[in-house]
Structure 1
Amino acid sequence: MMRLRIMFSHAAVVVMAVACGAGLVGLALFAPLWVWALIPLGVAAQMLNEYNLHRYVFHLSPPRAQWAFNLLYMAHYGHHDFPTNTKLFFVPIWVALPMLLVNGGLLWGALALFGVPQAGWIAVAIVPVGGVLTFLVYEWFHMTAHVNVPKTRVERYVTTLHNQHHFR
């Protein structure tokens, strides 16, 4: 219960969970059944997105411009300075929401441009459902790695890997 309270005290998690829920309801009520098979594409895309954003943006060399440094500090550097500060566990809403909108819009636009039928529902299955579910699971394991709670075997493994990231 503590972990859910921590997670849902962050705007990005709440907004993304609502987006995912709305996507699931939309798919269930209106989308063709075959679109559900595309959700794993969103899982894979989000894993690549998460890795690349973290590796190539969040761990950039500190920018010289103070405003850029401040943004990166709020987005990620601060988490490394204060790894137990729950306010710094999750990506800020001003990173998460634009990523959701840009990724969903670009995918829908590209599919529609090429005349793919059901482009909107395909984009919903891949981005706010598959991608955001993966985002939420990632954030759950990331938060769990930073709190002192009983952990499952998988959570202990992820904690070990994540500690190597922080303390190498």
Structure 2
Amino acid sequence: MAPAPPPAASFSPAEVQRRLAAGACWVRRGARLYDLSGFVQHHPGGEQLLRARAGQDIGADLDGPPHRHSANARRWLEQYYVGELRADLQGSIENGSVPSAETQTTDPAIEPRFKVVDWDKDLVDWKKPLLWQVGHLGEKYDEWVHQPVSRPIRLFHSDLVESLSKTVWYSVPIIWLPLMLYLSWSYYQTLAQGDVRLFTTFTTEYSVAVPESVFPVLFVLGILLWSLIEYLIHRFLFHMKPPSDSYYLIILHFVMHGQHHKAPFDGSRLVFPPVPASLVIAFFYVILRLALPEPVGGTVFAGGLLGYVLYDMTHYYLHFGSPHKGSYLYSMKAHHVKHHFSHQKSGFGISTKLWDYFFHTLIPEEAHLKTQ
């Protein structure tokens, strides 16, 4: 017979009040208390929105308006559960009133599927590297990988290989911006010489000279091209649904993108590590070199490389930044977090919604609001 779970910790309103006064962000749902201090920066509505609700019952906020929180969002909340609120005649959390009997009982609306993951009974062993385990999940993989958790992931047994699969965010601008600047200056100088022509496979009569004045056009075209590539890769490669009977395709999906959806706030896995990024960047460089004259393809590539850096920096900020309400990044953060928690089959743009508009893959709520 399995041992009974340990009783939940209990806190008086005065004890919770002391934590709030010290800067913690505790909220409650019924009598259940949650410490969101470590989550406030990640919240798509902004840090201030959560801090304004510190000490309050957030049950109504979960049900909306402005929107009803998803099952994943409610499950995510349970990871921050710290205990139960008990009666205390010496004070209360809200407006000095004593919590009623109703608020002291555990909220019956919290269904079992919203409870925090039992790490000892999960489908995988979190004490071991996950990569070689997920392939055995089969038909359970798709549901499991789209139920996010707040903890880091280890993929490989080898410490060396594991280190190559992770990186800090600032490695991206440090490595790629100098290369982008070098290529931009080099190809601008080549274009300035005035001897670059398109369509040289035809006679000289039909070739087209490429003046240096088109450099900014080609560069911006590269940025735009990257935004399209970003969208297509995210939609059709990262969000492919691997066959449930394919062990290796499940592993491939997990290492490419599934691990990010499983642990969306693992800061070491939010930007592409330099080694795999180098292979992808080299591939696109070769394609452009083969398709266009070197200065033309190189300029487009340099613009695309800047687009990639902006994409990775934007992606990191959307997870860890706190943009001002009403700003572009605030809108993109809400857009991206909804993609993670409730709309995995839409909202594929990271740095822009342009291609979501164009290909009609806006998150349904946003598409509805747009038509109002």
Q: TM-score, normalised by structure 1?
A: 0.78
Matched position secondary structure for 1:7: coil
Q: 2:279 aligns with which of 63, 77, 98?
A: 98
Check if 1:8 corresponds to 2:170.
yes
Structure 1 letter corresponding to 2:315: H
CA distance in 2, matches of 1:6, 1:95: 14
Check if 1:109 corresponds to 2:290.
yes
Does the CA-based 8 Å contact 1:35-1:125 persist in structure 2? no
Aligned length: 153
Q: 1:40 aligns with which of 220, 229, 232?
A: 220
Does the CA-based 8 Å contact 2:288-2:298 persist in structure 1? no
Q: Counterpart in 1 of 2:182?
A: 22
Matched position secondary structure for 1:140: helix
Structure 1, residues 58-110: CA drift from partner, whole Å, max 9, x if none?
Answer: 11113544444333322211111001101221234454323322222122212
Check if 1:123 corresponds to 2:297.
yes
Matched position secondary structure for 1:46: helix
Does the CA-based 8 Å contact 2:291-2:297 persist in structure 1? no
Q: Work out which of the two has the higher radius of gyration on C-alpha atoms and give 1 or 2.
A: 2
Higher share of residues assigned strand: 2
Q: How does 1:125-164 map to 2 (within 5 A)?
A: 125-127=299-301, 129-147=302-320, 149-152=321-324, 153-164=327-338
CA distance in 1, matches of 2:241, 2:284: 25
CA distance in 1, matches of 2:288, 2:218: 13
Check if 1:31 corresponds to 2:188.
no
Higher share of residues assigned helix: 1
Structure 2 vs 1, CA of residues 62 and 15 (structure 1 numbering), >3 Å: closer, same or farther? farther
Aligned-pair CA distance for 1:29: 4.1
- Pick 1 or 2: higher relative contact order, CA cutoff 8 A, min separation 6: 1
CA distance in 2, matches of 1:48, 1:131: 10
Structure 2 letter corresponding to 1:131: G
CA distance in 2, matches of 1:34, 1:99: 29
Does the CA-based 8 Å contact 1:107-1:123 persist in structure 2? yes
- Identity percentage of aligned residues: 22
Matched position secondary structure for 1:62: coil
RMSD, aligned α-carbons: 2.4
Structure 1, residues 99-149: CA drift from partner, whole Å, max 9, x if none?
Answer: 3222221222122xxxxxxx111111101x2111111111111111111x4
Structure 2 vs 1, CA of residues 20 and 65 (structure 1 numbering), >3 Å: closer, same or farther? farther
Q: Counterpart in 2 of 1:167?
A: 341
Does the CA-based 8 Å contact 1:146-1:159 persist in structure 2? yes
Aligned-pair CA distance for 1:7: 1.8
CA distance in 1, matches of 2:175, 2:251: 23
